[in-house]
A = this chain, B = another copy of it.
Amino acid sequence: MATTIRDVAHRAGVSIATVSRALRDATSVTPETRARVTQAAADLEYVPSQLGRQLAQGRHAANGIVFPDLSGPYYAEVVLGYESVAAQLDRSVLILSTHGRRDADTLVTGLAARCDGLVVLGPTVDDEVVHRLNRRGTPIVLVARTPLVDVDSVNAENNASGTLLGEHLVAAGARTILFVGDPEATADVAERFAAISAAAERDGASVTVEPVSDFSEEAGVHAARQALARRRTTKSLPDAFACANDELALGLMLGLRDAGLRVPEDAIVSGWDDVMAARYAGLTTVRQPMRDLGVHAAQLLDQLINRTRETPVHEVLPTELIVRQSTTPTAGGTTR
């Protein structure tokens, strides 16, 4: 195959150990030999085999990241933040998307064997798998997942923004709020729901739940139809829809408008995440520092890999309420 360190050693007239040293340490090698080795390496277009190097050093110099999907902007941004830090630390990033794969457990275990540590993002594998890897000594950081006591985690704040959102909805005129999304699904959603409903009820509104567990646009459209169907019997529609994420909210808005209802005049709608489309749809939502989630995760992971730290850390990053037309009937105009 390619030229090896021995070829270079031979050409430069030195031993392989010297080549190895000359090409890495500036020190501990005479400038002359160093020059000779460098020249020989250049002549032969020598590129050190990372495989040999990694085996000798006993490290992959690579980090893994597991996520459900990259379709939405959410995980993609986290991955980008993660990658940027990893690259700085001179580590490669291995990705694994579990979306729609039943053998996710196996794949994640396989990934773990190919890197020095990994980040597990969102609903991908069971906690059981995380625990197993953790016991085995694999450095792991959880992101956007229910934290486990003995595993590092990074999450976005839900409480404060949820409270703000709840208050905002009531201030915008909501009396009956429907939370769209299953609070049982994940801890994140549970927190959002709890915060929103607590604030809204404190301010005198009533909150009910539409337990949707598939957080997609289609599910949002469907939820709208459900609510409209119920209107026939109950003669009333909720005047606000607080959705567990933006995609649900966007779908819901489509569903409402298809039925001739106007947002925000006839009903106000909020989402969560602030995806790009939310801006164009004028959707009120909560922005998460997605890229920062990735950045922090990479930093924590690096500490674990380098054994700089022993005790687990659980970070919570702040979020921000973004108010747009979908909840501001007074500001005029159907969503532009």
6 contacts between A and B (CB under 8 A): A51-B60, A71-B76, A80-B97, A92-B94, A92-B96, A92-B111
Q: How far is the CA of A94 from the CA of B79 in the complex (A)?
A: 12
- A49: B residues at CB distance < 8 A: 113
The answer, yes or no, to whether A52 is at the interface (CB within 8 Å) is yes
The answer, yes or no, to whether A331 is at the interface (CB within 8 Å) is no
Which of A7-15, A162-170, A275-283 is found at the contact surface with chain B?
A275-283
Contact of A51 among B51, B71, B137 (CB under 8 A): B51
CB distance from A230 to the nearest CB of B (A): 24
Q: Are A92 and B79 in contact (CB under 8 A)?
A: no
- A281: B residues at CB distance < 8 A: 280
- A335: B residues at CB distance < 8 A: 336
- A26: B residues at CB distance < 8 A: none
Residue-wise, chain A 84-104 has the 8 Å CB interface mask toward B (1 for contact) of 100100001111110101000
Q: With contacts A71-B77, A87-B101, A277-B280 known, what are 20 further pairs, Cβ within 8 A?
A: A2-B137, A47-B136, A50-B113, A51-B60, A54-B55, A62-B94, A62-B114, A69-B80, A70-B70, A70-B76, A70-B79, A71-B73, A71-B80, A87-B96, A93-B95, A94-B94, A95-B95, A250-B280, A276-B277, A277-B279
Give residues in A with beta carbon < 8 Å to B.
Answer: 1-2, 45, 47-52, 54-55, 58, 60, 62, 69-71, 73, 76-77, 79-80, 83-84, 87, 92-97, 99, 101, 107, 111, 113-114, 136-137, 250, 257, 275-277, 279-281, 334-336
- A50: B residues at CB distance < 8 A: 60, 113-114
Closest to A59 in B: B51
- A92: B residues at CB distance < 8 A: 94, 96, 111, 114
- A55: B residues at CB distance < 8 A: 51-52, 54-55
Q: Are B114 and A45 in contact (CB under 8 A)?
A: no
- A47: B residues at CB distance < 8 A: 113, 136
Closest to A132 in B: B45
CB distance from A271 to the nearest CB of B (A): 12
Known: A94-B92, A114-B50, A336-B335. A58 touches B1 (CB 8 A): yes
- A77: B residues at CB distance < 8 A: 70-71
Q: Are A87 and B107 in contact (CB under 8 A)?
A: yes
CB distance from A4 to the nearest CB of B (A): 11
Contact of A83 among B58, B97, B277, B336 (CB under 8 A): B97
CB distance from A253 to the nearest CB of B (A): 9
Closest to A281 in B: B280
Known: A94-B92, A111-B92, A335-B336. A136 touches B277 (CB 8 A): no
Contact of A336 among B2, B93, B334 (CB under 8 A): B334
Q: How far is the CA of A107 from the CA of B49 in the complex (A)?
A: 16
CB distance from A263 to the nearest CB of B (A): 10
Q: How far is the CA of A50 from the CA of B110 in the complex (A)?
A: 9
